[in-house]
Amino acid sequence: MDKNIHFFSQIDVIPKKIDPELLGIRGRQANEFAELGFPILPGFIIDSQLAADLDETDIKKDIKQMLDKCAGIVGKSYGDPENPMLVKIVISSNLAVSNYPTLHNFGLVKPTIPGFAKWVGKTFAANEVLFLVRGMLKIEEQIMEFKGLTAERKKILDQLKALGKEISSDRPSKDAEAIMDRYAPFLPSGYFDSADGQLMLTLKEISKLLSMDDQNDRDTALMIQPMVYGNYGKDSCSGNFFSRNVVTGEKKLQGEFYREKFNEIGATGQGIEKIGPNHLKELQRIAWTLEDRFKEIRQVRFTVENGKLWLIEQRLVDQKSTQADIRLLLDLAKRKIVDNAYVVKAIEPLRLNEILHPIIDTPSIKGLKNWSGGIAGAPGAAIGRAYFTTDGLLEARKLAMQKGEDDRFILVMPSTFAEDVKAIEVSTGVLSCEGGFSAHASVVARQYGKVSLVAPAMSIKGKKATLGNISFSEGDYITINVPYYGESTVYLGTAKLIEPNPSESGLLEFIGITKSFIKEFHVRANAESPKDALLALSFGAEGIGLCRTEHMFFGAERINVFREMILSNSPQERKKALDKLRPMQRNDFYGIFKAMAGKEVTIRLMDAPLHEFLPHNNDELTAFIKYLEKSKKTKVAKADIVAAIDSLEEFNPMLGHRGCRIAVSYPEIYAMQVQAIFEAVYKLKSEKVDVRPEIMVPIVMNSSELKLIAYGKKIEGTSYTGIVDVEEKLRAEKKAKAVPYQIGTMIELPAAALGAGDIAKYGQFFSFGTNDLTQTTLGISRDDFTGFMPDYTLFDLIIGNPFSTLDPRVKELIALAVERGRLTRPDLVCGLCGEHGANPGNVRFCMDAGLNYVSCSSYSVPIALLAVAQAELEKAEAGK
């Protein structure tokens, strides 16, 4: 027996001393089945050292011996005229992608056709002859191309290609022998005369092809195996299945089989669980053994011929859900097949987006008109009726709930602002056309777990939107699909969704394993309500890193009170309005602190420009005037209100009167917020609840601002009441013991980063607001940059989206600020808040730069946690 020919079967394994590279990919896969003792079709491999240099005389006897061994196992003989064993030849390259054709049904010659047709029918037999011919013509075509094209060879090559097109149909118009006669002149002489002769001629032609192929560096083997057929008798079938459900991850075979059919083409399948108890039990054993070996979901093709089960192939599964992978990994870990470190390293962090949000049930979108493109703002899938204003959506939702109708809505607007948060919160998603990943709509949608898609191509006119060749009006149903990878799509009509379930999906258990690898660096959440805080906790957050208090003023019972405060003519009037708001703020903080008991809660004092809170349309203005008239019990002139609103208009409000600058002009606003914070703190303290407040001052540009707001100041007969003063006064009134708290600032200006050493004198913590820091460092508006960013990307003027992946210069400012801040205050706590913190690529930088935590939306917390855990494991392994 030639040492380069290797036999395998369910009980015959190719020895480990044979270099696996000699077998090619398909050969190694077949031997893996043999090693596991699975019912693999027997076969033999002519390894890569011999395949391109075959000598018919030397190997003829070996081939005959190998075929006889196969025949003894499958119960059919090669060349038998009554019940012929046919074989396939697999050109087994070591390349993942090969340009060689599929070669089946060798042994189909004139003497064996009647016997084969008796089992499968004349039409099927003719079809299999066509399949054989098609593969061989492709071999002859490739040989001719490698020879170099003389005029004569080109003529032959053109004939071969024409023949290839001629037999592209799988519906033969002639019987098997007629087909053989038609194509025999284009194949080696005597090709359909005898089974043995056909196989040797075929191997000779393939060997010739391999020897001529420049890309074959003696790294391609040949594998010969018997063919089996699912239509070969009454107790026969073919089928394929996944080792578990590829969507839910349930440990249950998912697939179909086709009774008395060669394959699934034109066949009606039955669920794999109906195949019969004996075969099902064996398939389960095979599937779950494969999972344990490969540590992933596998797909298996099989054939049952005359009651005997044969495995055809097994391979990895591309189209599977994150949930399915996680449930498999958890199952493997419980049975000690893998350790917890393997589980954590096996999932790419961004894949968790899929398990946290609804996904489209693919069959349900068939036939729906659609448009694809845009910028993913927040992942997931959403269905709802389109509404083009916040008020319109809220009113429609109110009516739908009253009538018990469908209350799913999608907000469709050019862009959103702070006053639209309440609509985003109750919607299923938001579709906008301005901005990008860091646009207001995208940021808020991520915070509330809603879907967001920014489609710059969308045109909105009145109550109608157009996207490419689709358009929809207010009240029409649309479906938005924003996958965590790939292209986003808007569908007209309603699809079906698969909703996430963190408990059933295994996500919560997976988070628990992930957190076991996290040491000093932590993940907090951005949250503005007790509900958000509890959700963040369930997802593994270690506190709140950003509570945006301005969002709290947009509730229906608060917004007009706040507007009254803004437009008041004196500090006394402002205080009167603020006194109405303080109990509401206190209740907000009470609920958040209580939910986060024992963990730090960073409350950012009001940051947004005042103009964002004022009426933006006539309906809002009318409602506000009615409120004022009722509150003041006097007539209010619309023109006066409009003039007051206009007086607050700014050319560039994001760099204007906002954040701590408002506090300098209107100190009573921050005083109210700080008082509400500590009223909640001392109430919880009396209830024995562990409260850990952190008060953050936004948009600071120098240490003097922070010093003023934190500690107050007296100058020329005027005094400014600082955070410390408010707390001390309240504590004295309540005769309470002090509760530890911290005052810090958000570093979101280059000036603040450069002056971090001075600012740290008065701030106990830094939180890097990287959206604004990116804007102010690069001079790029996060809401407008998408208009020119494609051109910049085209010419490689900027790499990636700076509002998703931190720009190197922004990173440098962060690292510099941490270093300078800790030179002044060694115990300075530093965090990064915003969706940059959910990007795995940024998390490792934050850890290396010496930050203590990142903070992101609740739905992004698991992603950040996984990125941290993987970085910790990587560092630990590097240390070893």
Question: What is the percent of the chain where pLDDT is above 90?
Answer: 62
Consecutive H or E run containing 135: helix 122-147
Q: Is 440 a catalytic residue?
A: yes
Count how many residues are written for the chain: 880
Three-state secondary structure of 568-593: CCCHHHHHHHHHHHHHHHHHHHHHHH
Provide the 3-class DSSP secondary structure of residue 683: helix
Q: Which of 141-150, 181-190, 526-535 has the lowest mean pLDDT?
A: 141-150
Do the beta carbons of residue 713 and residue 762 sit within 8 Å?
no
Name the H helices within 458-539.
Answer: 502-505, 507-515, 530-538
More confident residue, 38 or 268: 38
C-alpha–C-alpha distance, residues 279 and 654, integer Å: 68
C-alpha–C-alpha distance, residues 303 and 239, integer Å: 6
C-alpha–C-alpha distance, residues 862 and 506, integer Å: 12
Cβ neighbors of 531 (< 8 A, separation 6 or more) are: none
What class does CATH assign to 358-499?
alpha beta
C-alpha closest to that of 480 among 409, 422, 400, 396:
409
Write out the two tokens for 655: 């760099």
- Taking the CA atoms of residue 522, residue 523, residue 525 and residue 531 in that order, the dihedral angle to the nearest 10 degrees is -80
Three-state secondary structure of 724-783: HHHHHHHHHHHCCCCCCCEEEEEECCHHHHHCHHHHCCCCCEEEEEHHHHHHHHHCCCCC
Provide the 3-class DSSP secondary structure of residue 89: strand
Consecutive H or E run containing 400: helix 390-403
C-alpha–C-alpha distance, residues 97 and 123, integer Å: 32
C-alpha–C-alpha distance, residues 635 and 637, integer Å: 7
Do the beta carbons of residue 452 and residue 446 sit within 8 Å?
yes
- Residue at token pair 């103009």: 611
Do the beta carbons of residue 308 and residue 337 sit within 8 Å?
no
CATH number of 237-320: 3.30.470.20
- Residue 152 confidence (pLDDT): 66
C-alpha–C-alpha distance, residues 24 and 18, integer Å: 12
Per-chain mean pLDDT for the chain: 90
More confident residue, 663 or 880: 663
- Residue 311 confidence (pLDDT): 92
- Residue 260 confidence (pLDDT): 80
Cβ-count burial 346-357 (b if 16+ within 10 Å, e if not): bbbbbbbbbbbb
C-alpha–C-alpha distance, residues 401 and 406, integer Å: 8
- Residue at token pair 């206009």: 646
Do the beta carbons of residue 571 and residue 512 sit within 8 Å?
no
Provide the 3-class DSSP secondary structure of residue 109: coil
C-alpha–C-alpha distance, residues 646 and 661, integer Å: 19
Q: How far apart are the first and last CA of the chain?
A: 48
- Residue 147 confidence (pLDDT): 73
Q: Kindly name the residue from 833, 836, 846, 856 that is annotated as catalytic.
A: 833
Three-state secondary structure of 623-646: HHHHHHHHHHCCCCCHHHHHHHHH
Whether residue 101 has pLDDT greater than 60: yes
Write out the two tokens for 215: 């890309």
Query: pLDDT tier at 85 (50, 70, 90 boundaries)?
Result: very high
Whether residue 684 has pLDDT greater than 70: yes
Which of the four CATH numbers 3.40.140.10, 3.90.1150.10, 3.30.1490.20, 1.20.1260.10 does domain 5-226 have?
3.30.1490.20
Q: What angle do CA 752, 754, 759 make, to 5 degrees?
A: 50
Q: Which of 181-190, 334-343, 562-571, 611-620 has the lowest mean pLDDT?
A: 611-620
**pLDDT tens for residues 181-200?**
988 988 899 999 999 999 99
Query: pLDDT tier at 240 (50, 70, 90 boundaries)?
Result: very high
| Residues in the annotated binding site for substrate | 548, 604, 748, 769-772
- Residue 627 confidence (pLDDT): 87
Write out the two tokens for 615: 């009426």
Measured CA distances, 676 to 142, 626, 742 (Å): 81, 28, 16
Whether residue 156 has pLDDT greater than 70: no
C-alpha closest to that of 497 among 483, 510, 476, 479:
479
Query: pLDDT tier at 394 (50, 70, 90 boundaries)?
Result: very high
Query: pLDDT tier at 378 (50, 70, 90 boundaries)?
Result: confident
- Residue 654 confidence (pLDDT): 81
Does 517-546+577-603+669-879 carry CATH code 3.10.180.10? no
Write out the two tokens for 782: 């996060």
Query: pLDDT tier at 854 (50, 70, 90 boundaries)?
Result: very high
- Residue at token pair 């945006």: 548
Q: Phi first, then psi: what are they for 437, rounded to 5°? A: -60, -35
More confident residue, 474 or 248: 474
**pLDDT tens for residues 417-445?**
878 888 998 999 999 998 877 788 888 88
Name the H helices within 835-860.
Answer: 840-848
| Residues in the annotated binding site | 548, 604, 748, 769-772
More confident residue, 756 or 439: 756
| Residues in the annotated binding site for Mg(2+) | 748, 772
Same fold, 237-320 and 358-499: no
State whether the Cα torsion 191-196-201-206 is positive or negative: positive
> Which long-range CB contacts under 8 A does 159-163 form with residues at least 24 apart?
159/186, 160/186, 163/137
Write out the two tokens for 113: 């056709």
- The domain locations on the chain are 5-226, 237-320, 358-499, 517-546+577-603+669-879
**pLDDT tens for residues 304-322?**
999 999 998 888 898 788 8
- Residue 279 confidence (pLDDT): 95
**pLDDT tens for residues 188-237?**
999 999 999 999 999 999 998 888 887 777 889 999 999 999 988 788 99
Question: What's the whole-number mean pLDDT along residues 333-361?
Answer: 92
- Residue 153 confidence (pLDDT): 60
C-alpha–C-alpha distance, residues 297 and 346, integer Å: 13
C-alpha closest to that of 270 among 315, 296, 226, 304:
304
Question: What is the percent of the chain where pLDDT is above 70?
Answer: 96
Whether residue 292 has pLDDT greater than 90: yes
- Residue 164 confidence (pLDDT): 62
Whether residue 679 has pLDDT greater than 90: yes
**pLDDT tens for residues 353-377?**
888 888 888 888 988 999 999 998 8
Q: Kindly name the residue from 6, 357, 440, 611 that is annotated as catalytic.
A: 440
Whether residue 781 has pLDDT greater than 80: yes
- Residue 266 confidence (pLDDT): 67
Q: Phi first, then psi: what are they for 81, rounded to 5°? A: -70, -20
Do the beta carbons of residue 721 and residue 672 sit within 8 Å?
no
C-alpha–C-alpha distance, residues 578 and 555, integer Å: 15
Query: pLDDT tier at 173 (50, 70, 90 boundaries)?
Result: low
Q: Is 833 a catalytic residue?
A: yes
